[in-house]
Chain A
Amino acid sequence: GESVGLHLPTLSVQEGDNSIINCAYSNSASDYFIWYKQESGKGPQFIIDIRSNMDKRQGQRVTVLLNKTVKHLSLQIAATQPGDSAVYFCAENRFNNNDMRFGAGTRLTVKP
């Protein structure tokens, strides 16, 4: 079946380094992608989104890249800080579809 998955379940980086979290999706009909950050004991927090008519979008210290050819999504975090330690989920959605599908998540640990 179609799914959204992540390449790596865990990622450990040094404080100040850049982090890259990857996500693969298989549904070519997906046209909207979102990255969420979930800290322990909290709900997912919206970070950044991108629509399928774009291949890059930048926010504050974060960049999302979308490669529709290989159905790949990535989240880049610049100058990673200890407060970035969390589980990061990518999610896909289709226009006017209510079934937002989440991957299993990548746990990012930032070492001081």
Chain B
Amino acid sequence: NAGVMQNPRHLVRRRGQEARLRCSPMKGHSHVYWYRQLPEEGLKFMVYLQKENIIDESGMPKERFSAEFPKEGPSILRIQQVVRGDSAAYFCASSPPGLAGWAQYFGPGTRLTVL
């Protein structure tokens, strides 16, 4: 059973470029969550999606950040015009259908470095 998969594991971008982070949930899971983690800190909720729907994006910055979870394919977290402050680890988690927010399982993360 494959767990939550994220790619790339490491991503380097220059200021002003775009970053695209991908997440494939566990098989059978239909809820996807994105979190951001700075070094030596906890995880900050960004967005919760189900297939083709953004359910809660209250943790997403208002500008430059967007997320999608299409009917087919992985969930994508997109950061436009990256700045140095976007450097962080971005984790995706998934949970099974039914009760949202319970038993979230995390992927290995994408470490974004903005030069």
Cβ-based interface call for B48 (8 A): yes
Alpha-carbon separation in the docked complex, A88 to B33 (Å) = 20
Complex interface: chain B residues within 8 A of A105 (CB): 40-42
Contact B106 A100, beta carbon cutoff 8 Å? no
Complex interface: chain A residues within 8 A of B45 (CB): 98-101
Q: What total count of A-B pairs have CB within 8 Å? A: 64
CB-CB under 8 A for A98 and B56, given A44-B91, A105-B42: yes
Distance (whole angstroms) from the CB of A35 to the closest CB of chain B = 12
Complex interface: chain A residues within 8 A of B48 (CB): 98
Cβ-based interface call for A69 (8 A): no
Q: Mark B90-115, 1 if CB is under 8 A from A, else 0.
A: 01000000011111111111000000
Contact of B106 among A44, A99, A103 (CB under 8 A): A44
Q: Please provide the chain B residues from 31 to 52 with a CB less than 8 Å away from any CB of chain A in the complex.
A: 33, 35, 40-45, 48
Cβ-based interface call for B55 (8 A): yes
Cβ-based interface call for B59 (8 A): yes
Contact of A89 among B42, B102, B105, B109 (CB under 8 A): B42
Distance (whole angstroms) from the CB of B55 to the closest CB of chain A = 6
The bracket for how many chain A residues form the interface is 20 to 34
Q: Please provide the chain A residues from 5 to 44 with a CB less than 8 Å away from any CB of chain B in the complex.
A: 32, 34, 36, 42-44
Contact of B102 among A32, A42, A45 (CB under 8 A): A32
Contact of A45 among B6, B100, B103, B106 (CB under 8 A): B106
Q: Please provide the chain B residues from 55 to 110 with a CB less than 8 Å away from any CB of chain A in the complex.
A: 55-56, 58-59, 91, 99-109
Alpha-carbon separation in the docked complex, A101 to B99 (Å) = 17
- For B102, the closest partner residue in chain A by CB is A32
Contact B106 A43, beta carbon cutoff 8 Å? yes
Contact B99 A99, beta carbon cutoff 8 Å? no
Alpha-carbon separation in the docked complex, A42 to B106 (Å) = 9
3 nearest A-B residue pairs (beta carbon): A43-B106, A102-B42, A98-B48
5 A-B residue pairs with CB within 8 Å: A34-B104, A42-B109, A43-B109, A98-B100, A104-B42
